[in-house]
């Protein structure tokens, strides 16, 4: 092909640049996120009691939307109690409900957020629970 040498060199540089983040980060960066739910507060509960506001599948997919909805319902509408599909009630609060069980933000929330390079601004205002450095 015409200018074959230049094209090949260009391609190699391009591939190098695009894969650099993965090569630099190594296995750590590409490891599957593993959010831990073995906080002391969760372990204190019995197996039957260990239920989040909604099912794991729902929360995995929709927790962002749920939190958005909660904040509008609490701040704007003045409703504080949420009844889930199974009839259990919760106070709608990130700091005082979600984080009471999931008190390990760095091993739970941050696991997936770091992997997907998402920086939600919740923590600019909402105080994350203090974690013991381990």
Partner 1 sequence: MSVNRRDFLKIVSMSTILSIGGVATVSSLKNHAEASQLSKSPTALTAKRWAMVVDMSKFTSEEDYRKCIDACHLTHNVPNITDNPKHEIKWLWTETYEHAFPGNEDVYRAEKFQHMPFLMLCNHCENPPCVRVCPTQATFKRKSDGIVMMDMHRCIGCRFCMAGCPYGARSFNFKNPRPFVDQAKENPEFPTRMKGVVEKCTLCYERLAKGLLPACVEAAKEIAAKKGTTPGLIFGDLEDPNSEVRKILSERFTIRRKPELGTGPSVYYII
**Which residues contact partner 1 by CB under 8 A?**
65, 69, 71, 73, 75-84, 91, 95-96, 121, 124-127, 129-130
Provide, rounded to whole angstroms, the least separation between the CB of residue 130 and partner 1: 8
The DSSP secondary structure of 15-60, one letter per residue, reads HHHHHHHHHHHHHHHHSPP------HHHHHS-TTT---SS-HHHHH
User: In angstroms, rounded to a whole number, what is the distance separating the alpha carbons of residues 45 and 83?
Assistant: 20
Q: Is 3 exposed, middle or buried (0-12, 13-18, 19+ CB in 10 A)?
A: exposed
Provide, rounded to whole angstroms, the least separation between the CB of residue 127 and partner 1: 5
Cβ closer to partner 1: 6 or 130?
Answer: 130
Cβ closer to partner 1: 46 or 83?
Answer: 83
Cβ closer to partner 1: 17 or 57?
Answer: 57
Cβ closer to partner 1: 115 or 122?
Answer: 122
Provide, rounded to whole angstroms, the least separation between the CB of residue 46 and partner 1: 26
Provide, rounded to whole angstroms, the least separation between the CB of residue 76 and partner 1: 6
82 contacts 89 by C-beta, under 8 angstroms: yes
User: In angstroms, rounded to a whole number, what is the distance separating the alpha carbons of residues 9 and 125?
Assistant: 48
């Amino acid at each position: 092909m015409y200018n074959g040498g230049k094209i090949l060199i260009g391609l190699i540089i391009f591939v190098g640049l695009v894969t650099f983040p993965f090569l630099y980060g190594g296995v750590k960066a590409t490891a599957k996120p593993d959010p831990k739910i073995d906080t002391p507060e969760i372990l204190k509960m019995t197996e039957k009691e260990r239920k989040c506001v909604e099912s794991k599948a729902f929360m995995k997919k929709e927790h962002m939307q749920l939190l958005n909805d909660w904040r509008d319902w609490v701040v704007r509408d003045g409703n504080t109690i949420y009844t889930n599909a199974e009839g259990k009630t919760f106070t709608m609060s990130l700091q005082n409900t979600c984080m009471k069980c999931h008190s390990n933000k760095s091993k739970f929330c941050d696991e997936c957020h770091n992997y997907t390079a998402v920086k939600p601004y919740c923590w600019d205002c909402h105080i994350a629970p203090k974690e013991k450095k381990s």
